[in-house]
Amino acid sequence: MRVLDRYLLRELLTTFLAVALILALLSLGGIVADMLGEIARGKFPASLLFSQLGLRSVRFLPILLPLALFLAVLLGVGRLYRDSEMAVLAAAGIGPQRLLPAISLLVLPMTLLVAMASLWWTPSALNRSKDMIDAANRSLLVAGLEPGRFVEIPGRASVVYLAEMSADGSQFKRLFVHSKKDGRIDVVTARSGELFRESQGEERYLSLSDGFRVEGSPGQSNYRIMRFERNDIRVPDSEPNDSGTTQERMPTAALLGSDDPADSAELHWRVATPLSALLLALLALSLARSPPRSSRHGGILLALVAYIVYFNLLGLGRAWLADGSIPDWLGLWWVHAPVLLAGAWLLWRAQSLPRPRQRPVRRVARA
C-alpha cells in the first residue's frame, strides 16, 4: 500500500468511526426510549431489555452504516480540499479519481457488512426478537397481572384479582374478574387457571377452571348464575410489538421465490441498502470538493439534502412496489440510476482541467 493510500485510509477510517459512534448513540437512545415505553405498557418484561436492544439494533445497521460512510467520505475528503492538500496533489498530477483505490479500502468492506446485515442478519434478529417476546407473553406478569392486587385490563372495563401465581407467571389460583359493559355487570370467579396463546393467532386468553359466572343489570332481579368447568377470557394487547412486519422477518431465500408484491418490495429494499453505500460514497467524493480555507460545514447541508431525498425516494419506491403501483422489473433502479449518473458526472467534471480562456487580440491601428 502506498503512503498516500495509507494516509487517506487513516483519515477516512478515523472520521468514519467518529461519525458511526455518534449516529449509534443517537439511534440507541431512541430504541431504548421506545423499549422502556413497551415495558411500561406490559409488552415484554424488563429482563429482556438488553437482549431486545441488541437484536433491534441490527435492524438499523443497513440505514446507519451508509449514512456514516457518506459523511465520513464527505468530511475526510473535504478536509483535504480545505487545507489545500488536494491542490498539492493536483500539482503532482494526482486528481480526485486517484483517491478511489484508498476510499474503496473502506467502502467495500462496509458495503459487504451492510449487505450481510440487510440480507441475513436483520430478518434473523427480528425473528429471534419476536420469538422471545412471544415466549414472554405467555406470562401473566407481562399481561400486567400481579398476585394480591386489583388490576385493570387494558382496553376493557374489567378488573382482575389473583390470589396466587406461579413463579413463571403462567398459572394462577383463586381468580376474580369484574366487567361492566352497556350498563350490565359480569362477575367471574375461578378456582384455578392459566394464560395461553391462540395457536392460529396472536391473542392471549385466560383459561379459567371450576368457577362461577354472574351476569345482570344493577337494580334488576334478572341475574343469570352459571357454573362452568372451563371458561376462556381474552386478554387484549394494547398495540402490536415492534418486531417488524412479516416481510421483514422472512428469509431472503423465501423472498426470491415469492410472487407477492410486498415480498418483492422487501427484496428490492434489501438489495438497495448495500448499493446505496457504494453510490453515496461516490456522490460524497464529488460533493466534497470545495475551495481552500472554506467553511468546514459548507457543503454538508447540500449533501444531507441529497441523502434525505435519495432515501425518501427509496422508501416511496418501496411502498409503490408493495401496492403494485410500479412493475417488479423496474424495482428501485429508477432511484439508483440518477445518483450513479450524478456522481460519475461530477467526478469526471472535477477530474477534467478547465480550458484557458482565449483573450481577443487587439489590433492597434497605425496612422
What is the rounded average pLDDT for all residues in the chain?
80
Q: Is residue 360 part of a domain?
A: no
The answer to whether position 324 is within a domain reads yes
Q: Is 281 helix (H, G, I), strand (E, B) or coil?
A: helix
Q: How many structural domains are present in the chain?
A: 2
Q: Are residues 252 and 123 both part of a single domain?
A: yes
Are 254 and 224 in a shared domain? no
Contact 212, 227 (CB under 8 A): yes
Predicted local distance difference test score (pLDDT) of residue 137:
65
pLDDT at 341 over 70: yes
In a domain, 365, yes or no: no
Residue 66 belongs to some domain of the structure = yes
Which pLDDT belongs to residue 344? Answer: 84
> Considering the entire predicted model, what is its pTM?
0.73
Q: Among 235, 251, 284, which residue terminates a domain?
A: 235
Kindly state whether residues 260 and 290 are assigned to the same domain: yes
Task: Examine the domain organization and report whether 38 and 104 are in the same domain.
Answer: yes
Position 41, amino acid? R
The reported pLDDT for the residue numbered 353 is 46
Provide DSSP, 10-60.
HHHHHHHHHHHHHHHHHHHHHHHHHHHHHHHTTSS-GGGHHHHHHHHHHTT
129 plus 259 within the same structural domain: yes
Range of the domain at 224: 155-235
Q: Say yes or no to pLDDT of 75 above 90.
A: no
Per DSSP, what are the bridge partners of residue 214?
187, 225
pLDDT confidence band for 335 (50 / 70 / 90): very high
Q: Rounded to the nearest 5°, which phi and psi values hold at 3?
A: -60, -40
Residues 208 and 303 both lie in one domain:
no
Interval 146-157 mean pLDDT: 71
pLDDT by residue (tens digit) across 295-319? 656 567 778 888 899 999 999 999 9
227 shares its domain with 297: no
- Alpha-helical (H) ranges within the chain are 3-40, 49-58, 61-82, 85-91, 100-116, 122-136, 246-249, 252-256, 261-287, 300-322, 333-351
What residues contact residue 367 under an 8 Å CB cut-off, 6+ apart?
Answer: none
C-alpha–C-alpha distance, residues 53 and 30, integer Å? 11
